[in-house]
């Protein structure tokens, strides 16, 4: 549990950096890989991450949601990763 905003922001920035490194390690080909047979692909999970950030507004945080549909688009990784990281970074400003 956080007792200070600065503690939350410090961890948020650290987790954002870790997430960025993970997204950077994915390739367009790996986005098609299911995490287990019959489960979401890595690309679908990346897109889920993007949309999950918009739910933080329910906690009183101001986070912009991405434009477009909630369904995972067939977009290249660089576009998905860019959207996710942009939203994460903008939420701490």
Digits of tens for pLDDT over the chain (93 positions)?
A: 889 989 988 998 999 899 889 888 989 899 999 999 999 999 888 888 877 777 777 777 776 666 666 555 555 554 555 555 565 556 555
Phi/psi at 61 (5° precision): -95, 145
Q: What is the pLDDT of residue 52?
A: 79
Whether 50 contacts 83, CB under 8 Å: yes
**How many folded domains does the chain comprise?**
1
Domain that residue 19 falls in: 5-90
Q: pTM for this one?
A: 0.58
Alpha carbon separation from 42 to 20, 75, 86 (Å, rounded): 14, 12, 19
Alpha-carbon distances of 88 from 52, 73, 78, 91, rounded to whole Å:
11, 19, 15, 5
Which CATH number fits the domain that encloses residue 13?
1.20.120.450
């Amino acid at each position: 549990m956080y007792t200070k905003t600065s503690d939350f922001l410090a961890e948020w920035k650290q987790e954002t950096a870790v997430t960025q490194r993970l997204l950077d390690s994915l390739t367009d080909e790996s986005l098609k890989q299911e995490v287990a047979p019959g489960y979401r692909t890595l690309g679908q999970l990346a897109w889920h991450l993007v949309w999950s950030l918009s739910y933080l507004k329910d906690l009183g945080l101001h986070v912009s949601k991405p434009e477009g549909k909630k369904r995972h688009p067939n977009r290249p990784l660089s576009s998905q990763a860019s959207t996710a990281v942009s939203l994460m970074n903008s939420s701490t400003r």
